[in-house]
Structure 1
Amino acid sequence: MSIALSYGHSRESTTVGHSNSPPGELVESPLHSPRVGEDDRHAYVSAQTTAVTDDLGRTAQPRRSSRLSDIRRRTLEMMTPSKPIGEEPTALASVKAFLLCSKLNVLLVFIPVSWALNFALPHSFGARDTLIFVFSFIAIIPLAKLLGFATEELSLRVGQTLAGLMNATLGNAVELIVAIIALVKCELRIVQASSVLLPAAFHFSVPDLDDSTEGTYILSVSHGVAIILLVIYIAYLFFQLFSHSNLYADTGDHIFKSTNYHADKKKQLARLSRKIGKANPFSKEKSTPPTAANEEGPVEEEDEIEVPCMNLWVSIGALVIVTVLVAVTAEWLVDSIKGVTESGKLSKEFVGMILLPIVGNAAEHLTAVTVSVKDKLTLSLGVAVGSSIQIALFVIPFVVTLGWILGKPLTLLFDPYESVALFLSVLTVNYVVQDGKSNWLEGFILMCLYVILAVTFWFYPGTDPSGVLTQCR
């Protein structure tokens, strides 16, 4: 006979077998193990489920908050300058600094000259295209420098990783503008300033197809590869700016100072300039006043204050104005390329591979050299190597996609020699930078390689494997 025990500790007799005890009673089974009634069991399970759900909710909520706070922290790090910013100059001082920032600004007089030649000279004039090309070419050089100067002023107000990205992106603005204008005007060989080997390999591996079918396939391959390259570029940005941003910071014990440049020498020069009363008004850095503790010893980098030459709004306005001037001048430049190349004086390969990159990257080259002297190696590599990555992964795929939208048959089918030159350049640069250090001999070898490529492209007649494609209109 089973015995039922109520929660109120009162004993009552029950029948043998199945128990009909009311809910809430603890019942002894024939094996003398207590069990809970069915209704209480459901209530117990429901309570446990609610408790687990609450625990999971409380656990998931901090995890989501942790992710959001981590994203906010990394974004704040990218937007926070590595050194304190000094007082911003006035608008008048900013404009003065902008106009006097470089000796190359004397070449700005060629901007109205190139525009005047474009409108004044008749098309029947024999040397019209040559004159417009030369003066437009010279005029874009100081504009690229001004674009880089304004970009550098903006980069002072953000972190070093984002500063490198800004310098590489806005430094390629000239090339992007020239590429878009050349695409609209069907100068497809000028646009192809980089190389991707897949469409070229496809072209040379299927010789049995007729031209129309092969051209359709090459266009499809180029469009697909361009989209994939843009996706890779987005992943590259996420890797550099968010997931592994610590790898692109010039902080830590793995960064070694240059053997020839020391910050204390620069501070000694700054002290000397203050003594003679001729401090540079356009200096980027200002040291703290010397004290008894550090007057004779070296001054640490943390004591430096970045002094901007232009305030924020003047820098943004300068970027807009210079970009418009570059766009207009680049249009005259592209218009004159056809006449110059058809005369036999220059080939399109030399113009597209040597001259136009010099114009578009003049500011970047100066910026990379300047910051490398200051031991900002990550920023220097971000400007130099990162610029090439942006050309290969962003500019060319973007222009190919834009040509797809505009109905222009621009592909990634490049000249074979251009592809070989790119391959050799990538191998050489990778060999130089993979050990994390450099010397003057490695730089000299890179410069000689560039001169060799320039000489070969001067005499190289070039081929046009894109003849299988439809005509650009």
Structure 2
Amino acid sequence: MTNAGQPGFSEEHTLREACTGAAAAATRAASAISRVSRLEEAQLRLEQKVILANALASNAIISCRKLMSDRFGYAHSRADSYLDGADSESEYQAQLLKAPLLQSGLAAGDVEAGSVTEDSAHEYPPPHMPVAAEDAEPEDRWLNLGCCRYKVAGEPGLLSPLHDILGTYEIVTSSWLYALFVFLPFAYAAGVLDWGPAAIFCLNFIGLIPQACLLGDVTEDLASRFGDVAGGLMNATFGNIIELALSMSLLRANKMEMVACSLLGSVLSNLLLVMGAAMFVGGMRYKVQDFNLLVNKVSRSLLFCASIVLVFPAIAKYVDAQDFPEPVVVKISHGLAILLIVVYLCYLLFQLKTHARMFIDEAGGAPTLSLVGSVSLLFAVSVSVTIASEYIADAIDGVSHAWHLHQTFIALIVLPMAGNASEHVTTVKLALKNRLDLALNISLGASLQIAIFVVPLVCLISWAMGRSFLLLFDLLTMAVLLCSVVLSYFLTADGFSNWLIGMLMMVTYVAMALPFFFRRVHDDP
């Protein structure tokens, strides 16, 4: 007996079939959802792998770019210039991979138009790449003498008065600092006529600033005639005439503590004030600036080593004065001075021969002065600097008592400003042009030359003169030197710069100067 004839049978059968179909559809939907979920998970894992691969590739490119400093040493922060326009992680990675190609100029056409905006190009500008000297076309040079105009053709040889006149005019009109030459006659008059310690010191100090600029320009012009080794030695010797002349004058006045403070002040001024000002000014115009990390690391390591060597005699003296009397400290100082000279010669070999490609930053141009003219001008300025240094050394005692400033403050803070004024202006101009790498090479290189060449050279010269200039500093000076070197080492360790780092360096310099500024003069109550 069947239920086919019953009234509710057809409805129940239909409902059962509908439920069975719905269950099957739900099963198929669940299976489809599961497959879609697995597909999404696989796609997500694939995207993560792609992002990871892009990140690894970008890191590899950055590492290779750091190693290839002669081609890509400027470029390892440029990838950040495309962060502002990135809407997704994948787009950011794609832009990060394009950045090295843009920096090298090898695949600029492969990047779609519009990827670099005007604002981002200003905030993260391309690094300056030096142009070889042979690629630059020589320009005609003209000499205007009253109503006559002469064309000066060719390069200056052994003796060329027209080249010397034109070259000297070009040099002294290249910077506003040369306008301070108007104070030089008054400086000589103050010394000869004895206008008083304050007038003698101030006028001769101001007169040293343009002479330091002229010495640097003439030395570079003369060094361009010779090879890298001879040119490097000439830059090291004549480029530090101001520091050497002041040191010799203070040595003859038997002011040994001021000799040490003036040399260390030059190191600290270039390391903190000059470098910090360049980073600050450049960072105010560009968000991030980069520099050659390999060259910077070599210079910072040498400077850190030199600072440790310079404080060894003082540490030995303060630890046990009985075991390290003054004759022993004299021998230690002379030995360390010889070692630092050897280190400097090795550094020249490293920079000019074995690893010269690391230090390529600017192509040298043709000389503007003749050989006789440049040597004569260099000799005349050196004699003038020596005279001004003698006047300054004789006036320091009177200035210290009149202004109630300790002599260590004058030597550590005031005197280095005359020799570093040219570097200060030059580095700031370079930073504004986004050439921070060259600016740091100038400031850090100047500090390094003072620390590993001028300081030991002055020690050896004093030894030959029968003077007892020792590498012996007080505790405050040692602390200032070590802290400044360590701070600059860490602030520039990643190859990036911004205005905040520059401000920290300048604040550190001011904080370092305050204890010496408020240091009591011996005749004060």
Q: Scaled by the length of structure 2, what TM-score is found?
A: 0.56
Instruction: Return the match for 2:510 from 437, 451, 456.
Output: 451
Indicate conservation of the 8 Å contact 2:228/2:352, yes or no. Answer: no
Query: 2:388, 2:233 → 1: CA distance?
Result: 25
Instruction: Return the match for 2:420 from 336, 345, 361.
Output: 361
Tell me what 1:388 maps to: 447
Are residue 352 (structure 1) and residue 463 (structure 2) matched?
Answer: no
Are residue 205 (structure 1) and residue 264 (structure 2) matched?
Answer: no
Q: CA, structure 1 residues 364+202, in 2 after alignment: closer, same or farther (shift >3 Å)?
A: same
Tell me what 1:188 maps to: 256
Query: 2:339, 2:366 → 1: CA distance?
Result: 42
Instruction: Return the match for 1:106 from 174, 179, 192.
Output: 179
Indicate conservation of the 8 Å contact 2:222/2:371, yes or no. Answer: yes
Indicate conservation of the 8 Å contact 2:427/2:440, yes or no. Answer: yes
Indicate conservation of the 8 Å contact 2:216/2:239, yes or no. Answer: yes
Tell me what 1:116 maps to: 189
2:425 counterpart letter in structure 1: L
Tell me what 1:139 maps to: 207
Query: 1:82, 1:454 → 2: CA distance?
Result: 46
Pairing 1:378-457 to 2, within 5 Å after superposition? 378-457=437-516
Query: 2:137, 2:427 → 1: CA distance?
Result: 22
Residue 81 of structure 1, CA deviation: 4.6
Q: CA, structure 1 residues 245+95, in 2 after alignment: closer, same or farther (shift >3 Å)?
A: closer
Structure 2, unmatched stretches of 5+, are 1-131, 142-151, 153-161, 265-306
Pairing 1:210-221 to 2, within 5 Å after superposition? 214-221=325-332
Are residue 238 (structure 1) and residue 352 (structure 2) matched?
Answer: no
Q: CA, structure 1 residues 327+404, in 2 after alignment: closer, same or farther (shift >3 Å)?
A: same
Matched residue SS, 1:236: helix
Indicate conservation of the 8 Å contact 1:168/1:386, yes or no. Answer: no
Indicate conservation of the 8 Å contact 2:311/2:472, yes or no. Answer: yes
Tell me what 1:298 maps to: none
Indicate conservation of the 8 Å contact 2:232/2:348, yes or no. Answer: no
Query: 1:161, 1:462 → 2: CA distance?
Result: 46
Matched residue SS, 2:497: coil
Query: 1:157, 1:164 → 2: CA distance?
Result: 12
Q: Deviations over 1:188-232 (max 9, x none)?
A: 1121032611111111111445xxx71111111111111111111
Query: 2:238, 2:426 → 1: CA distance?
Result: 12
Query: 1:340, 1:173 → 2: CA distance?
Result: 24
Q: Deviations over 1:360-400 (max 9, x none)?
A: 11112223333444555554333211111111111111111
1:101 counterpart letter in structure 2: S
Q: CA, structure 1 residues 450+163, in 2 after alignment: closer, same or farther (shift >3 Å)?
A: farther
Pairing 1:299-378 to 2, within 5 Å after superposition? 310=369, 313-343=372-402, 345-374=404-433, 376-378=435-437
Q: Deviations over 1:90-134 (max 9, x none)?
A: 43322322332322223212222121122212xxxxx71121111
Query: 1:182, 1:94 → 2: CA distance?
Result: 34
CA RMSD of aligned residues (A): 3.1
Aligned residues between the structures? 324
Query: 2:237, 2:206 → 1: CA distance?
Result: 22
Structure 1, unmatched stretches of 5+, are 1-79, 122-126, 252-301, 464-473
1:139 counterpart letter in structure 2: G
Query: 1:206, 1:333 → 2: CA distance?
Result: 37
Choose 187-196 or 131-140, whichever is displaced more.
Answer: 187-196
Indicate conservation of the 8 Å contact 1:148/1:364, yes or no. Answer: no
Q: CA, structure 1 residues 152+458, in 2 after alignment: closer, same or farther (shift >3 Å)?
A: same
Query: 1:308, 1:376 → 2: CA distance?
Result: 23
Indicate conservation of the 8 Å contact 1:145/1:363, yes or no. Answer: yes
Tell me what 1:86 maps to: 138
2:168 counterpart letter in structure 1: V
Indicate conservation of the 8 Å contact 1:164/1:383, yes or no. Answer: no
Higher helix share: 2
Residue 458 of structure 1, CA deviation: 0.6
1:86 counterpart letter in structure 2: P
Pairing 1:141-290 to 2, within 5 Å after superposition? 141-154=209-222, 169-192=237-260, 193-194=263-264, 196-208=310-322, 214-250=325-361
1:113 counterpart letter in structure 2: F
Choose 222-231 or 371-380, whichever is displaced more.
Answer: 371-380
Identity, in percent, stands at 35
Choose 408-417 or 158-167, whichever is displaced more.
Answer: 158-167
Tell me what 1:95 maps to: 168
Query: 2:464, 2:366 → 1: CA distance?
Result: 45
Indicate conservation of the 8 Å contact 1:81/1:157, yes or no. Answer: no
Indicate conservation of the 8 Å contact 2:209/2:418, yes or no. Answer: yes
Query: 1:438, 1:207 → 2: CA distance?
Result: 44
Residue 144 of structure 1, CA deviation: 1.1
